[in-house]
A and B are shown apart, each in its own frame.
Chain A
Amino acid sequence: MELQTLSIADRLASPDAEVRRLAVIDLPYSDEDDIVPLLLPRLQDSDATVRTEAVRALEGYEDAEVVEALAPMLLDPDAEVRTAVGLVLSELKESASAAPLIPFLSGHSAEVRMLALRAVRALRVDAAFAPAMDALKDADAGVRREAVGVLGYLRRAEAIGALAEIAARDPDHEVRRIAIGAIGYSSEVSVLPALTRALSDVSWMVRDEAAQTLGKLRLGLAIPELMRAMQDDYWQVRVKAARSLGLLKATAALPSLMEALAHPIGNLRKEAAIALGEIADPRAIPALEKALDDADPDVRKLSRLALTAISLAQK
């Protein structure tokens, strides 16, 4: 086929936009060793579909010139190009790549701010801190979500207050949920009020996240609140609370966990059996022995494992 006998460089320069686009798609799998210099000019292609493919093909090539060329394309007139740019920028890994992105963290459209915030998150650069703190007040919930994400990754002590505030008051439940997860970098006791308050959030997803984060942080002081969460209307929240109580080796939670061993939801009985094994207190033996007759084989198995863990711990 004559078109395939053309060199990739010739195809990239074809007057036919479709041929140029195909050449860009083929380039990463061609014999060309160094594809970046061939792709950069195509970012300026007059055809948006060619630009989109060129952006996608540059994913994972984190040279300074690539990032500098891609960042301004967050303002490309074509929506598909902008989406591709956002995705590729969100794959960046090196903190050195952040500089060209900083100007897009504020101003511009909500979409641009959101994509730029998402792109700097994993780079964990100090320069993103102030813009992210500002963006917590953004009118757009999507922007606030990404801002919270940036602060969670940055893990700076001075953001805890602001994140706690967002977790308590943001009108968007997904923003609140992410904020609760984001607090999970600080095991300071000061985060405790925010997390325990979140255990009573109106959204069960927020409560679920809070129950999980308390376990991740091993915040023993939260054991009473987690025990209350074992009465949550949503069994999903109870499962997370049981998981955290197990991780915390919360002997005080024995009664509520043993009670959960008889709950109608199998997943909760399973989690309770695991937690009782982790706590390894012999007082749980009768309840676990009863669970050996559970209708759910998984519960029976995990109860047997928990009983073994208890007997090993007593040695």
Chain B
Amino acid sequence: MKRIDLEFDLVVIGGGTGGPMAAVKAKEKNPKLRVLLIDKANVKRSGAISMGMDGLNNAVIPGHATPEQYVKEITIANDGIVDQEAVMAYAANSFDMINELDRWGVKFEKDETGDYAVRKVHHLGSYVLPMPEGHHMKKILYRQLKKARVEVTNRVVVTRVLTGANGEVAAVMGFDCRTADIYVIRTRAAVISTGAAGRIGLPASGYLMGTYENPTNCGDGHAMAYHAGASLANLECFQINPLIKDYNGPACAYVTGPFGGFTANSKGERFIECDYWSGQMMMEFHNELEGGNGPVFLKLDHLAEETIQEIETILHTNERPSRGRFHEKRGNDYRSQMVEMHISEIGFCSGHSASGIHINARGETSVPGLYAAGDCASVPHNYMLGAFVYGRICGENAAEYCAERPLVDYDAGAAAAEEARILAPLGRTDGLTPFQIEYKTRRLVNDYLQPPKITRKYEIALRRFDEIREDTACMMAGNPHELMRAMEAHSIIDCAEMAARASLFRTESRWGLYHYYVDHPERDDDNWFCHTLLSKGADGRMTLAKKAIEPYVVPIDEEERTAYQRLRVARSAEAA
């Protein structure tokens, strides 16, 4: 293994969805910039949309929805805890991005006159735009990277962002997962687009990589932002999804809903009121599952043959094509029986919930020169289109930033320490394997952190995480591939601890199941109508603070708010 020193103007970390967009947009803004897109997999098929996506959930298209309407819905869906300006920045740019993707060759469903065929799925506005051939997404992105002359480096795992004397971005460090060569890349600015932290908990199957999220998305970006000094927002707002039991792929009520499919209890009855993914919906799901009416199922067996065929075509070709194969082995047929569903392990993913590296409407984190986009950043309910829009925002703003900044020296001591940290497991010939460290961390996350949240359990978890941290001192790696898993295990422990500390800080319950805190079961707007920010304290330990909600740009009418409140309380009122 050797050390490779490089120099760029902008480094984009993560080549899934938001990353390629950030790189392309930075080059378009300033073609003279030296832009590097770096990925620990291969950009050709990396990230959450490696096999494409079947549609947009949050398309804000004139005539079907307005940005103001969208901002309102997201505000209410997140119990008011949003930076509306940041949500508006997405909504206002959503339509331009759809048109740009359309020009790039992404196929959105259109009617016979060429207008987008937007679907209304139970929201106030209409936001669903199907992508019948969404499996070409990555190919299209790669073509744009080539046209924009972005440099791509694959199979390099970035582990840290190094800062300069004033705390600004100075370099990124990592290693090649096939050769263990150490990379030190000086840069003026960096964009983190590393996706969700989806490998914190253990899936029901017990198979380590059987996660809902692409398992490469293990929280590397969350960890490197934290260690670089950036703040992370609302981490107690977990991501928990309704999934097909054991398979851990989405059950896709979004896709089947418009066709008449729904989530049912063991009696075959619909029980969910709030059927777009939210903490409230997951609470209803959890109650049904645990309350004697479970198991919970995806019900399609009442639909007509041609409808089921259409559903199968969509579900079994895009996003998770192995779904059909799973059903076949189990003898599941949508026509004749309901498909068992379950609740996912926990994670951080702003795409579906609201937690991540804190950014503002310009994509800036609290570290100068550091930007974040997509599932790893804090703008709520962004989904794929939000990752693209914020990729563009970050790319353009980072291009502007680095045009006027010199390269600064990174902290040489920090670089040496990081090199030693990375290489340590390769130097050991005996000890604990990364698999053991990771499995144990994730098993403890399930045991103690899966909501409902209980203070005593969380305290035990924190103690056990500390023990595992000590154990990492004897973690070994037999080859560069195992070294990648070892470094990922560090990110996973960091994220697990962040999840626990953020949850203990917010002493109220909010966002349905995502932050259902048994010791503090009520929502407490007087004390907790605020963001929470987690960062590295002067003592090197995690510290938490409240941050006031930014002034709303779209006021919410009291009556509208009550209408939503009534939606939420209706169920418990019925039960009473």
Contact = CB atoms under 8 A, between A and B. Distances in A.
A180 B111 CA distance: 11
A312 B120 CA distance: 21
Nearest to B43: A29
Contact of B567 (A28, A155, A301, A311): A301
A304 B140 CA distance: 43
A304 B149 CA distance: 53
A172 to B, nearest CB: 15
A60 B104 contact: yes
B417 interface: no
B563 A305 contact: yes
Contacts of A138: none
Nearest to B112: A181
A312 B262 CA distance: 30
A152 B115 CA distance: 10
A33 B112 contact: no
A154 B146 CA distance: 33
Given A181-B111, A296-B270, A300-B273, A93 B142 contact: no
A12 interface: no
For B113, B274, B275, B567, the residue with the greatest tally of chain A CB atoms inside 10 Å of its CB is B113
B563 A153 contact: no
Residue among B42, B143, B274 facing the most chain A CB atoms (10 A cut-off):
B143
Most buried by B among A59, A60, A266, A300: A60
B114 A297 contact: no
B573 to A, nearest CB: 11
Interface string B538-576: 000000000000000000010110010011001100000
B272 interface: yes
A304 to B, nearest CB: 6
A297 B113 contact: no
B421 interface: no
Interface in B303-339: none
B112 A152 contact: yes
A50 B497 CA distance: 53
Contacts of B140: 60
B112 A297 contact: no
A195 interface: no
Contact of B113 (A153, A304, A305): A153
Given A91-B105, A152-B113, A182-B113, A297 B271 contact: yes
Interface string B135-150: 0000110110010010
A184 B262 CA distance: 31
A312 B559 contact: yes
A28 B142 contact: yes
Interface size class of B (residues with CB under 8 A): 35 or more
A268 to B, nearest CB: 10
Interface in B95-133: 103-105, 111-115, 120, 122, 124
B260 interface: yes
B440 interface: no
A33 B275 contact: no
B275 A298 contact: yes
Nearest to A271: B120
Interface in A278-315: 295-298, 300-302, 304-305, 308, 311-312
B273 A60 contact: no
B44 interface: yes
A266 B567 CA distance: 18
B30 to A, nearest CB: 18
A301 B563 CA distance: 10
Contacts of A311: 559
A297 B120 CA distance: 17
Contacts of A297: 270-273, 571
A148 B114 CA distance: 12
A153 B114 CA distance: 6
A185 B113 contact: yes
Nearest to A88: B105
A182 B114 CA distance: 9
Given A28-B143, A301-B567, A312-B559, A178 B112 contact: yes
Nearest to B275: A298
Given A60-B104, A267-B260, A297-B272, A148 B563 contact: no
Contact of B559 (A93, A152, A178, A308): A308
Given A28-B142, A28-B146, A298 B271 contact: no
A35 B120 CA distance: 42
A298 to B, nearest CB: 7
A148 B42 CA distance: 42
A267 B566 CA distance: 22
A121 B124 CA distance: 33
A296 B273 CA distance: 9
Contact of A184 (B112, B142, B146, B270): B112
B560 A308 contact: yes
A304 B571 CA distance: 13
A8 interface: no
A122 interface: yes
Contacts of A181: 111-113
A86 interface: no
Contacts of B42: 29
Contacts of A148: 112
B548 to A, nearest CB: 29
Interface in B227-251: none
B246 to A, nearest CB: 27
A33 B149 contact: yes
Nearest to A122: B114
Contacts of A149: 112
Contacts of B111: 181, 184, 216
Interface string A254-277: 000000000000110000001000
A305 B111 CA distance: 29
B566 A155 contact: no
B559 A35 contact: no
A304 B105 CA distance: 41
A155 B105 contact: no
B112 A35 contact: no
A298 B270 contact: yes
Contacts of B146: 28, 33, 35
A59 B142 CA distance: 12
A159 to B, nearest CB: 11
Contacts of A35: 146
Contacts of A304: 563, 566-567, 570
Contact of A29 (B44, B271, B274, B571): B44
A302 B112 contact: no
Given A29-B142, A33-B149, A298-B262, 16 more contacts: A29-B44, A59-B139, A61-B143, A153-B114, A181-B111, A181-B113, A216-B111, A266-B260, A266-B270, A274-B120, A295-B269, A298-B273, A300-B570, A304-B566, A304-B567, A308-B560
5 contacts: A59-B139, A60-B104, A184-B115, A296-B270, A308-B560
Across the A-B interface, the 4 shortest Cβ-Cβ residue pairs: A181-B112, A308-B563, A182-B112, A152-B112
Interface of B: 42, 44, 103-105, 111-115, 120, 122, 124, 139-140, 142-143, 146, 149, 260, 262, 269-275, 557, 559-560, 563, 566-567, 570-571
